[in-house]
Chains A and B, each alone.
Chain A
Amino acid sequence: MHEDLAHIKRIRDGDIEAFEVIVDKYRNKLFSFLVKMTCSRQDSEEILQEVFIRAFNNINKYDDRWSFSTWIYRIAVNTYKSHMKKTRRHKTVPIDEIAADKGMAVGENPEKVFERNERHREIVSLINSLKDKQRIPLILKYVKGFSYQEISEILGISEEAAKMRVLRAKKNICEKYIEKHGGDIR
């Protein structure tokens, strides 16, 4: 974090290279988060580009008392929301794109790959069935191991609420899963 601040100071002084360092540091983490949010690499990349541009253009507004990481995730969540509002593609995302990401390795048993992809697909669709109110905290919780306090900072809610929403998200996922597979489980 201290390191981030030093870079930010340099960015404010007009040092593009310092900004490159920040982009390099956060791009894959934010990208992983956005892929889970959008289920699309292309959308994620578009959003991510915008996130960094917004961050760069607003770097003077960044309050040093916050951690830079929660600040940039907050931008990411907001950019994601406005992007989705614009494109309205949220509910019709092709999840196969992500499931297919994990392709078949050479020498891998196709049955295993099939089984794994099925599971993958099911989990993705369970997550997508949640409302953003629960979905975003859940993804934030695991995507980078954020604490509830950090999640509360990113989303502007209380720590308690963050905790509650993650828990409800998991409960909903379990319920939907059991509902669907109830017949197979004794």
Chain B
Amino acid sequence: MRFHLSVEDLDSFSEGNVTNREKERIKLHLRECEECREKYSLLHDLEKYLQEEYSTDTAFTKRVVDSLGKKKYAKKRTGYIRKKRSILKPVFSGVLICAFVGASFYFGSKFDLLKINSLKGPDGPEVTQASQPTAKPTAADSRADEAVKTADSARRVTLYFPNPSAECVVPEHREVVVKPDEKIEEVIFRELQEGPGGNAEGSVIPEGTKLLSVEVKDGICYLNLSTEFVDNNPGGTAYETVLINSIVNSLTELPHIQKVQFLVEGEKRAVYTHLVFDEPFERNESFIRTPENTPEAVEERIRELGEKVLAAFKDKDMQTLSRYVHPEKGVRFSPYTYVEVDKDIVITSEEIKTLPDNGKVYAWGYYDGIGDPIELTFEEYLAEFIYDYDFLNADEVIYDRQYDRGNTINNVFEVYEGSHILEYYYKGTPEYDGMDWRSIKLVFEEKDGTWYLVGVVHDQWTI
């Protein structure tokens, strides 16, 4: 990014003193330029800090008055009331201070609980009430339509809370009670504020945030929050990301909500403090971690899959193989390290079933060095460029790590971004100084929670 927004630009932008066109230009720039986003957020935090208020103690005024040059201007007005007050005031303020300090010691810790409770509204239900039989819809008579409308209904919701290291969000299922005058979205927001397992410490929603209103239109949930949502945001891109994912993923669990638009005091904001904020957020599955998708569990799953795929190649069991091939993208075969996205052959999961019996000759690319086209049937290609070594007994099985072994650019991690890559590596023999090494990489991509084969990249010594 060569050009940056000036402080003047950012000032006018945050004060709203810009034309619509300027506003668009600045927004666009902010979206793309991290440095300017940082500046914008710095200026925002700077102003916020400068606006913070500090208070003197209540006895201050008295101390000032007492220390005045013995009432330079004082005259006549030394009546009974004034005299009496001058004695009473210190006594009163002393009592008040003691009472206040005492109270804050005793009730300080309870204050937050009170706050949390007050967010529920005067008669907000406790979560535990969900288990009370009256709240169960199963107990309701199906004929009693009226009763259903006015009764509390119990619902099972899925909430997403950040994990302890705040890298992702983890689901928590909860039974909640929705009162007749309540919206389910309100209940979800309240539950999020209560934190994971009802432990408010784990809640990421900025302290004191109130849900002013919520409305769903065309699948977009407009979440109107109080200014504390911005003011009490402790800052940090990572924090914001986990916060937004927690809210958006929880709300998009509801079938009628696809996206969430945040409003602060009824207004769209251009930037939260880091993230662009005037467009609705979509659900982000990749941010969710369940027991099935911890990095360890995924690695285990991919390693299992890898073996099945390799075995299918070895046995030329195309029916089995087709089940592992990505149903939409198919699988791309690259004869050498460098993946040529447009040129390499891609075979669909349907077509692969017809292999190797179809006898068709494909142009798989060009031989390294000689430059001749690789025109082979699938069976021939398999023997030469896929299972050209007993990879099921490879020297190493490497998960998601890049090695540059030869002199060919290894672009597999770029091309298949977001995928997991398993590499089976055979070291070669001393007889050839190890130059007869070989490897096969299997690339897996996720679709709807299942991992599919999208790439098979062969690698060997090249000139």
Closest to B208 in A: A105
* A106 and B52 form a contact (CB under 8 A): no
Return the contact of B42 from the options A14, A35, A174 (Cβ within 8 A): A174
9 contacts between A and B (CB under 8 A): A16-B68, A28-B53, A35-B54, A36-B49, A48-B60, A107-B200, A112-B234, A115-B239, A119-B235
* B258, chain A: closest CB distance, angstroms: 30
A residues contacting B by CB (< 8 A) are 11-16, 19-20, 23-24, 27-29, 31-32, 35-36, 41, 44-45, 48-49, 52-53, 56-57, 101, 105-109, 111-113, 115-116, 119-120, 123-124, 126-127, 138-139, 141-143, 167, 170-171, 173-174, 177-178, 181, 185-186
Closest to A142 in B: B50
**Which of B33-41, B210-218, B222-230 forms part of the interface with chain A?**
B33-41
What A residues does B7 contact at CB under 8 A?
A: 167, 170-171, 174
Tally the A-B contacts, defined by beta carbons under 8 Å.
134
For residue B21, CB closer than 8 A to chain A, the reply is no
CA distance A45 to B111 in the complex (A): 29
What B residues does A113 contact at CB under 8 A?
A: 234
With A123-B49, A142-B47, A167-B7 already in contact, the answer to whether A109 and B73 are too (CB < 8 A) is: no
* A177 and B65 form a contact (CB under 8 A): no
For residue B138, CB closer than 8 A to chain A, the reply is no
CA distance A173 to B11 in the complex (A): 14
* A32 and B236 form a contact (CB under 8 A): no
What B residues does A45 contact at CB under 8 A?
A: 56, 60
What A residues does B35 contact at CB under 8 A?
A: 178, 185
* B61 and A23 form a contact (CB under 8 A): yes
* B111 and A106 form a contact (CB under 8 A): yes
* B51 and A14 form a contact (CB under 8 A): no
* B51 and A112 form a contact (CB under 8 A): no
With A119-B45, A142-B47 already in contact, the answer to whether A20 and B67 are too (CB < 8 A) is: no
Contact size range, B: 35 or more
What B residues does A112 contact at CB under 8 A?
A: 234, 239
* B297, chain A: closest CB distance, angstroms: 26
CA distance A120 to B108 in the complex (A): 24
Q: Report B16-52 CB contacts with A as 1/0, cut-off 8 Å.
A: 0000000000000000001100110011011101111
Closest to B46 in A: A123
What B residues does A27 contact at CB under 8 A?
A: 56, 60-61
In B1-18, which residues have CB < 8 Å from any A CB? 7-8, 11
CA distance A124 to B49 in the complex (A): 8
Return the contact of B50 from the options A12, A36, A116 (Cβ within 8 A): A36
* A53 and B234 form a contact (CB under 8 A): no
Closest to A49 in B: B64
* B73 and A12 form a contact (CB under 8 A): yes
CA distance A186 to B11 in the complex (A): 22
* A166, chain B: closest CB distance, angstroms: 9
5 shortest A-B CB distances, which residue pairs? A142-B50, A14-B73, A116-B234, A106-B112, A112-B234
CA distance A46 to B80 in the complex (A): 32
CA distance A11 to B64 in the complex (A): 14
Known: A32-B52, A53-B69, A177-B42. 15 other contacts (CB 8 A): A12-B73, A14-B76, A15-B77, A16-B71, A20-B61, A49-B67, A53-B68, A56-B68, A56-B72, A105-B207, A115-B235, A116-B235, A143-B51, A167-B8, A181-B38
What B residues does A178 contact at CB under 8 A?
A: 35, 38-39
* B56 and A16 form a contact (CB under 8 A): no
What B residues does A185 contact at CB under 8 A?
A: 34-35, 38
Closest to A139 in B: B50
CA distance A138 to B42 in the complex (A): 14
